[in-house]
Amino acid sequence: MVHLTRQLRERIIVWCHEQNKTLRVISELAGCSISTVFEVLRLYTEYGTVINPNARPRGRPRTLDMQDMNFVRSVIEGEPAIYLDELRDRVYNRLHSTCSLSA
């Protein structure tokens, strides 16, 4: 399924239920397939929302929060030529958090 914003998903409901547009027209307006429109309508009918309430979050949790990232940014701004292993060591010493050197 194509990633659609919540706002666009809600527009799909309006186009279908309030403006009585066809599925083909809705798919063209939303820039997605007819099956994606069907899925949004199914979620709305089944759960009363355009977002699947049973969906699990994607990816793994972040290791560093925004405060940690601000610390990393300040170190890099203060020492632009710092080596990654030195930066990693500073992060660990200050935050007691390990992070990978991979991109």
Domain containing 85 equals 66-98
CB 94 within 8 A of CB 86: no
Number of domains in the chain: 2
Q: Give the pLDDT score at 7.
A: 96
User: How far is 87 from 47, CA to CA, in rounded Å?
Assistant: 47
Helix residue ranges, H only, 5-78: 6-13, 23-30, 34-47, 66-78
Q: Which segments in the chain show pLDDT lower than 50?
A: none
Residue 54 maps to a domain: no
Residue 70: predicted pLDDT: 92
Q: Is residue 71 part of a domain?
A: yes
pLDDT at residue 49, rounded to an integer: 94
DSSP, res 14: I
Do 43 and 10 belong together in one domain? yes
| E strand or H helix that includes residue 93 | helix 84-95
CB-based burial label for 102 (10 Å; 0-12, 13-18, 19+): exposed
Residue at 60 is within a domain: no
Identify the pLDDT of residue 58. Answer: 78
What is the per-residue pLDDT for 38?
Answer: 96
Q: pLDDT at position 50, please?
A: 94
Q: Which positions ≥6 away from 98 have C-beta within 8 Å? A: 63, 88, 92
CA 47: distance to chain centroid?
Answer: 21
* Residue 28 belongs to some domain of the structure: yes
pLDDT at 57: 78
What's the confidence (pLDDT) of residue 101?
A: 62
Q: What is the pTM of this model?
A: 0.58
Q: Are residues 76 and 43 in the same domain?
A: no
